[in-house]
Structure 1
């Protein structure tokens, strides 16, 4: 007689008990695997995107907001800073490179970033087709935004003021797509990147048009801050000398502003000394992306630990449910087990039958929970991709998850053995005589 078939028939004969055990077990597994994958992939994405830069210099405010807006591009900026206020950092002996960035406009919800050619090198971004920008209002589209907006080489578009779609359009300054990047798995995939001059020129025009409409009256301070969330510089490897000359010209202009300055240190001493000096002695703010993201993940980690604690409690309850279900099943089937003994089944075979039932429950519960966890990742990935441009991967089982499966199997085996103790005390003659 086939023990596997018998175990299967025993398991499905009590559908309500089966569903309860599977529900508890799959819920605990789905929570653990979902939180594990979400924390790991978000942490990996964040680390990958902040890796090129050691420090961000911007307007006073929240350092975390400064990092989120200037490096990860998922928040509003803290404000603008004068280009001349950070000019001395470009030649500091502790600093390897600085990259100014400026933004404040969007096209259909995707940010237009003004920066320099070094920004592409920092993320090792390569062209899929076309070329990098060489003059104002030429834009290089990230792989993700080009695909979602169906942008091709030579396409033109007008930007909208602000970081979300629906702002005033800069109709007199259309951008032209001159390049599309290869997918890099970084924030670059979701950006439209031009030079700094494009941002400055677009907003000089916007400001002058706004003054005309208001009869020449100046903007309020809030309006001024809102529309000046942008600034910039030029690009092109072959134009290095011209770019250096532009730097000098920009730094002489006291009115030019940028959103922030991205900094890469040459010496570890820079990370120790410069941020504190900048924060205490200047009108701007320095933030360390690594520290701020670590602090953010620490906050998220507290929530993850709480959820994992809940999942562990549910897992223990599911183990108890398996124990009670099997104990009840064995007691209700004492006559059947005694009858099997008369057909030649030994005690170890009856024990094996119960173990198979417990193992089936554990495996099916784990598989269902794992699938539900990945379904959760897929749903969150769709939301993150649509909102922030971050996509999560649907990966196969990882070592931690396989270890979880082993723990569940061990738990199910222990519960089964405890529930099956009565098999060893089965009195065949007495049990059959009571029928």
Structure 2
């Protein structure tokens, strides 16, 4: 007696009932696996990018915006800060490393980041080919920027003002030249075009744009010109004193810096200090509410699916009482009949879980295209995780329980009465 074939025949004999239970199960599994992977991968990506930076110092405004713009490069900056003031802060003994960053231009949607080679060291970025920048207007390309822009070493290009692709506002008079290509790091560096700070100043100062506040520099120069003869050439302020950067990325020497410096900066300077880890955890906390809500909905659908399987099997057992009685007369035991019903439930559970898992991964793949183009982050398609394996075990246990409750009447079959009634 082929019980597996019999169970399959019984299942497909009522296709609408089976399809309803299957759809509910597939939907719940797809939602749960999709949200688990999405929240997990987003959290890992964010953590990998903020880990090298303990604190960001920038213009006053939203601390979250400061972190998103200066560390993750997915928002607009809060403004600029004086380079001189930032460098004075960098001499604090609690600071082990201070990396200036400045930006405001892009090339075909990829940000051009002015900084120094210390920035590359923060993320462990090394050269795949070529050399690092040495002079202004020399750049190195992150791995993804290199792949998407199709620039080679020695190629030149001109930047566009702003952080979004805009070919109408190009700095034609200041072409950049590609000097090197970076190896992939799996961090935000892969999306960037990195150049010396002087490149940003040169491009904007010579075109009268606002990044360096050239107008303010000229006004102050005129105001001081009357005193120039008395001060002498050694006492006159140079243009470098008025240069600005977007932010300073800080690495503390010890945990004491985390306790003292942020409050001191926020209360006693014109700058703002933001802690990437704190701000991202706050952001994930807000997003986590939505994730938990979706997961709760998915679990509710899963319970409804289990109830649907139970009702379907209970109805099937009652409708096939004569068939089950006949099987008993042909020598089938009660356990074999129970196993037949269990196989029906397992067919639904296993196929529903597999299709739901595939649907969840397809959703992740579809979203990956958007996150890649909008934020430069890839969502991977991993094999089943331990959490998903545990979810599968729970599905099987729920199915076994539903089968057992639906099949209690099998243990009470009165074969002679059932056959005589029919």
C-alpha distance in 2, partners of 1:155/1:288? 38
Find out whether 1:408 has 2:395 as its counterpart.
yes
What displacement does 1:253 show? 2.3
- CA shift in 2, pair 1:27/1:153, >3 Å: same
Higher mean Cα deviation, 172-181 or 251-260? 251-260
The answer to whether the 8 A contact 2:212-2:244 is kept is no
Find out whether 1:49 has 2:36 as its counterpart.
no
- CA shift in 2, pair 1:227/1:168, >3 Å: farther
C-alpha distance in 2, partners of 1:331/1:138? 79
Equivalent residue number for residue 220 of structure 1: none
Equivalent residue number for residue 107 of structure 1: 107
What displacement does 1:331 show? 1.1
What displacement does 1:226 show? 11
CA deviations over 1:111-134 (Å, ceiling 9, x no partner): 000000001111001111111111
Find out whether 1:273 has 2:260 as its counterpart.
yes
Give the TM-score, by structure 2 length.
0.92
C-alpha distance in 2, partners of 1:137/1:358? 67
1:366 pairs with 322, 329, 353, which one? 353
Find out whether 1:180 has 2:167 as its counterpart.
no
Give the TM-score, by structure 1 length.
0.90
RMSD value, Cα: 1.5
What displacement does 1:251 show? 9.6
- Within 5 Å, which residues of 2 pair with 1:391-430? 391-430=378-417
Question: Which stretches in structure 1 are left out of the alignment for 5+ residues?
Answer: 211-223, 229-249
C-alpha distance in 1, partners of 2:195/2:377? 21
Equivalent residue number for residue 171 of structure 1: 172
C-alpha distance in 2, partners of 1:330/1:155? 74
Higher mean Cα deviation, 282-291 or 150-159? 150-159
Question: Which stretches in structure 2 are left out of the alignment for 5+ residues?
Answer: 215-236
C-alpha distance in 1, partners of 2:259/2:325? 77
Equivalent residue number for residue 36 of structure 2: 36
Residues paired across the two proteins, number: 399
- Within 5 Å, which residues of 2 pair with 1:3-22? 3-22=3-22
What displacement does 1:145 show? 1.0
The answer to whether the 8 A contact 2:105-2:111 is kept is yes
CA deviations over 1:351-376 (Å, ceiling 9, x no partner): 01111111111111111111111111
The answer to whether the 8 A contact 1:203-1:227 is kept is no
C-alpha distance in 2, partners of 1:25/1:413? 15
The answer to whether the 8 A contact 1:94-1:265 is kept is yes
C-alpha distance in 2, partners of 1:82/1:134? 24
The answer to whether the 8 A contact 1:129-1:181 is kept is yes
Equivalent residue number for residue 320 of structure 1: 307
What displacement does 1:434 show? 2.4
Equivalent residue number for residue 263 of structure 1: 250
CA deviations over 1:391-419 (Å, ceiling 9, x no partner): 01100000000000000100010011100
What displacement does 1:306 show? 0.7
Equivalent residue number for residue 245 of structure 1: none
2:333 pairs with 318, 332, 346, which one? 346
Misfit runs of 4+, over 4 Å: 225-228
What displacement does 1:254 show? 2.4
The answer to whether the 8 A contact 1:104-1:227 is kept is no
Equivalent residue number for residue 95 of structure 1: 95
SS at 2:105's partner residue?
strand
